[in-house]
């Protein structure tokens, strides 16, 4: 998987005619370099989808693939964050943040939420989604003056890129 593109690789030992669908969607292209067929489906929505592989003789296999929300890259996000990101993706949040980025800070997972505009505090949330503080933003740009966190010194993984 690469973002919303799913590639099904089939190892074959002779030329065969197979069909693959993901969530009922046919492939966008097939790259055949025997003994490996690469069946590519692009634009797969976030969530779990059935994968169905069948050949002309009538053999079939099924599996499933889960396309993660943007930035989650194959790991499981906390339930509260999955719900929030799903709402953001669906456009259900009136004032979405500019970005949500996950960091490891002082041995803990934290989420740094940068808001869209104008003297708003950025939020720092713990792994449970509880507000830790405001490391920056506000009228002075220095946050609440108590929360010590500097994203420029850490490598983060973007969970929500904003719109």
Q: Give all domains of the chain, ordered by start, each with its CATH number.
A: 6-67 (2.60.40), 79-160 (no CATH)
Averaged pLDDT for residues 34-50: 79
Neighbours of 16 (CB within 10 A): 13
Averaged pLDDT for residues 79-98: 88
The pTM assigned to this predicted structure is 0.55
pLDDT band at 130 (very low <50, low <70, confident <90, very high): very high
Q: State how far the Cα of 17 lies from the Cα of 37, in Å rounded to an integer.
A: 10
């Amino acid at each position: 998987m690469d973002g919303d593109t799913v590639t099904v690789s089939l190892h074959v030992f002779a030329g065969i005619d197979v069909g693959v669908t993901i969530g009922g969607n046919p492939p966008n292209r097939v790259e055949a370099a025997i003994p490996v067929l690469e069946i590519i489906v692009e634009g797969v929505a976030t969530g779990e989808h059935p994968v169905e592989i069948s050949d002309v003789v009538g053999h079939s296999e099924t599996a499933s693939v889960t396309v993660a929300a943007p930035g989650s890259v194959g790991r499981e996000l906390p339930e509260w964050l999955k719900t929030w990101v799903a709402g953001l993706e669906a456009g259900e949040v009136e004032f979405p943040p500019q970005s949500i980025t996950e960091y490891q800070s002082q041995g803990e997972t934290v989420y740094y939420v940068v808001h869209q505009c104008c003297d708003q505090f950025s939020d720092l949330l713990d792994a449970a989604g509880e507000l830790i503080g405001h490391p920056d933003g506000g009228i002075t740009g220095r946050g609440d003056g108590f929360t010590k966190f500097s994203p420029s010194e850490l490598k983060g993984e973007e969970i929500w890129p904003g719109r």
